[in-house]
A and B are shown apart, each in its own frame.
Chain A
């Protein structure tokens, strides 16, 4: 069918002249050359507008995957996960039950099935560096429903351990961990709560490590002993981008 759209435009004379010359050079002095070129110009413009749009709209589009950027698979990666977690992820039949059960996957592009797949195929960096690894809320719904009885959460936690070991950790997590090392509580007391405790007739500090310095020392001892302190120190905090 012949295109029927029509736009009449007024424009600066010099632009018109330069444009006509360019068109003649490229398409020849035939009928329809101008339309062809103008249409192309409009399309280009539309595309650039599209790309310049806000992040909200851009997010709706699936991310482009550039396979050439993916590091080559490592045969040891899956084996290491199986060893460390005791969870044989190679049993996965890729049914997608976990994804459909996932509260996180319901609102983001997070896809546990794909993580398991990539892991068992050995794409170590892609898995361990991905923000996706940190979108699991450990709700265990997928674990209860998996037809292969794979403890997906256990596998993911193992991969998270491996990520942190490689120094890949999200910034807010480093903060929580530092709190823990300093105070023995992942969420230590704050001034407002001290006041509320008094108001409620509770002691200003709870009878936890907050009250007992010796106990706090013990906890710190354990965190040192198990290598936790060093681990957190070494970790390069990654900015927690939104998913």
Chain B
């Protein structure tokens, strides 16, 4: 046993964290109390333990007083455990001889109205940490070789940017995209704010770069189905659905689609147009090849037709393609699965789905696309004629506690952009934007807002309460209060656009489960730290890019993608990662070879091995993730989790009780 009580020299360091801790907890009292605990050689308090002076204080004590255990009472170990381990290491002490007492997140910040109670609790927490410190053992980290490749999930602008950055850095990238083409949501938009350039013009070259990059393997029609391993060495499984068209042979001539007899609603146009069962999502698709939708193809569903096969001169149709599951090994993973537009059907007061001329912002966006359902013209769905009077309703499904409380960040700007497009298309049109607050926070955004005001777009501050359709004229009558005038009003419009926000993509939950990365309350993927690690998922080696994390516009998505790529390349460029000594030690003398642990291990990391005349459990340290379930179940106490041994935990229990 390591608890050599006789020569224990523990240093306790109580942090003020500026005022964060010291305003509530009497840090001096805690330090005085600590200094009297058995084995404690020195106890100090200081303003910021994590700063240079604070760390220096600890290293000096280690060197001069010969400390062999360190307890830091400060913020959550999730914030600075690594910092202080490094301090220990530099001072020549094994970094695992450190224990953190969390007296900020779990004490001063949550007991602000009870300073006495908080101080008592802080003392208790330090006492428990000191108790555990007595039983800490020096541990060695293992270094593991990294697989120098990365997986990027999602082929929208964020995924594209991340993949290109990583590949340009020289790493092999697997880019997995669910649909038959790259492009994602940005590929659906026509012009982008505030520059009003055409989205395709700036996106397509990037898509082509991906397809031509020697370091990127593009897997379309594919999705992640399984993942295991950890930072530096993930093993993932990707299911690739057949395209039924040979990408290399297809010339994208389109004759197949002309002849295909099956017409289905086109999801790219949100059902405003139709497509064939063999189709391309856009004329700019990458890969530039048709794809057969197995759900609707007559041959695949009912065994008849095969017209496309007959008319294809390039002989590209291949009904023999089968679904395959690819197994890949990667060192890091970037999740860029994007978002879905909010479905406004549940807001019954707006009549979306009931009134033809109530549409969503993304639907309008498709109309403004020259390749879209109306050839680029904004038209009333009910009449096919240009609208004379258009209303935009902001914050539909966003900033609404009934649905999503968060601000979707893009709707103000896209509504302003679309209002300008409508004004350009028809000088005489009357455009109003009903808003609660206009949020024009980005570079050039306020200027853009000003431009639309100058163009005569009316900004009316008030949330529209309901829409009804005049049964005779089919005009839409909006009820609202102009809150700046303080008057309740009714006005009719011939087109109403609901500025819907972004919601987590439908498969976000599935992805979060596969990768074991949690989601925030809003359903988006959660970052490791909201301020300091916005690119990282909570699991090491997994990074977030784009709207999968939170609603973003294009510049933010691209910036975050580059950030994620930079983060993801750190382990790849290091080539080695340190693995924490989390796995259990098996005391072979004690192990009875009962095998209970083997059945419990979720990773198959344990097996029985013959040792002399008996069998004992053996841990595969690469597979083991250190949960400790086996340790908890071991009837003979043979398994010990190095950083959470029974002695450590029991000593904490006893220390906390007294």
Contact = CB atoms under 8 A, between A and B. Distances in A.
A adjacent to B, CB under 8 Å: yes
Main secondary structure of the interface of B (DSSP, over half): loop
A145 B349 contact: yes
Interface in B477-501: 479-483, 486, 488-489
Contacts of B546: none
A147 B402 contact: yes
B267 interface: no
Contacts of A106: 488
Interface stretch (A89-97, A165-173, A178-186): A89-97
A147 B349 contact: no
A108 B463 CA distance: 19
Interface stretch (B256-264, B393-401, B587-595): B393-401
A101 interface: yes
Contacts of B489: 100
A147 B462 contact: no
Contacts of B25: none
Interface string A91-130: 0011111111110011000010110000000000000000
Contacts of A98: 465
B481 A100 contact: yes
B436 interface: yes
B488 A95 contact: no
A141 B466 CA distance: 11
A100 B466 contact: yes
A59 to B, nearest CB: 15
A95 B466 contact: no
A97 B401 contact: no
Contact of B481 (A93, A99, A148): A99
B401 A94 contact: no
Nearest to A105: B488
B616 interface: no
B402 A96 contact: no
Contact of A100 (B402, B436, B437, B480): B480
A148 B405 CA distance: 8
B488 A99 contact: yes
A96 B395 CA distance: 14
Nearest to B401: A149
Contacts of B437: 93
Main secondary structure of the interface of A (DSSP, over half): loop
A242 B322 CA distance: 77
Contact of A94 (B399, B402, B483, B488): B483
B377 to A, nearest CB: 32
Contacts of A141: 465
B464 interface: yes
Q: Give the size category of A's interface with B.
A: 20 to 34
Interface in B432-469: 436-437, 461-466
A165 to B, nearest CB: 29
Contact of A95 (B402, B462, B479, B486): B462
A115 to B, nearest CB: 12
A95 B483 CA distance: 7
Nearest to B437: A93
Contact of A101 (B401, B461, B466): B466
Interface in A36-83: none
Contact of A145 (B395, B436, B465, B483): B465
Contacts of B401: 146-149
B407 to A, nearest CB: 11
Contacts of B465: 96-101, 141, 145
Contacts of A94: 483
With most chain B CB atoms within 10 A of its CB, the pick from A99, A111, A113, A141 is A99
Interface in B496-536: none
With most chain B CB atoms within 10 A of its CB, the pick from A146, A147, A149 is A147
A55 B172 CA distance: 82
Contacts of A93: 399, 436-437
A99 B402 CA distance: 18
Contacts of B461: 96
A89 B97 CA distance: 52
A185 to B, nearest CB: 36
B349 A96 contact: no
Contact of B462 (A100, A102, A145, A146): A100
Given A100-B462, A100-B481, A95 B436 contact: yes
Interface string A12-25: 00000000000000
B404 to A, nearest CB: 10
A106 B479 CA distance: 10
Interface in B362-403: 395, 399-402
A97 B104 CA distance: 41
B479 A96 contact: no
Interface string B395-437: 1000111100000000000000000000000000000000011
Interface in A136-161: 141, 145-149
A97 B400 CA distance: 12
B481 A113 contact: yes
Contacts of A146: 401
What 9 A-B pairs come out closest when comparing CB atoms?
A96-B481, A100-B465, A95-B463, A99-B481, A96-B462, A147-B400, A149-B401, A96-B483, A101-B465
8 contacts: A93-B436, A95-B483, A99-B483, A105-B481, A111-B488, A114-B486, A145-B349, A146-B401
Given A94-B483, A97-B462, A147-B436, 8 more contacts: A93-B436, A96-B480, A98-B465, A101-B465, A105-B481, A105-B488, A141-B465, A149-B402
Interface of B: 349, 395, 399-402, 436-437, 461-466, 479-483, 486, 488-489
